[in-house]
Amino acid sequence: MTDSNRQQTPLFSQIDVSHGAPSPPQHSGAAMFAEMAGLLRAMLAAQDRQNELMEELVNQMGAAQRQRAAELGQWKQANPELARACRMAAESLSKVQTEYLETLTEEIGDNFEVLRDGEFMLNEFVDRFGPRVAHLNGLLQVLSQLSATPDASNTQQ
């Protein structure tokens, strides 16, 4: 089959520019304002509904948070010695975490170029420090939540 036997697809298509369907009628100013007012009312109603839903969500979350806080308060009252021990442990562990973060930041400062350029070294660094930082943060969070608030006699010692 030669190229002359093939039908070539045209590079240009025809466009009909003749008058087609009539254009929609132009709205009068009053009709356009009425339509806009209706749309604004619908938007306002949707926004009001959205606000109601957000209030319900906040109330639900607030109720769960209040219940959790009440349960935690009851636990602290039932276990005052353990709550104080958790406070002391949290304070001690916070000092350990601070020292650990100082070591971590020194390591970053000393090996910045190697960490930036070497993926292997960066992975080793993350493997070395990442899990401990995450676990320390988790432990501190739990101990802080379970700890009793420091009273005046406890802070003076």
Return the number of other C-beta atoms located less than 10 Å from residue 87's C-beta: 19
**Residue 111 · residue 121 · CB < 8 Å:** yes
Q: What span, in angstroms and rounded, lies between the C-alpha atoms of 148 and 75? A: 10
25-84 pLDDT per residue, tens = 566 788 889 999 999 999 999 999 999 999 999 999 999 999 999 999 999 999 999 999
pLDDT score at 7? 62
* pLDDT recorded at residue 8: 65
The alpha carbon dihedral of 106, 110, 113, 117 has a sign of negative
pTM score, whole prediction: 0.55
* Separation of alpha carbons 148 and 89, rounded Å: 11
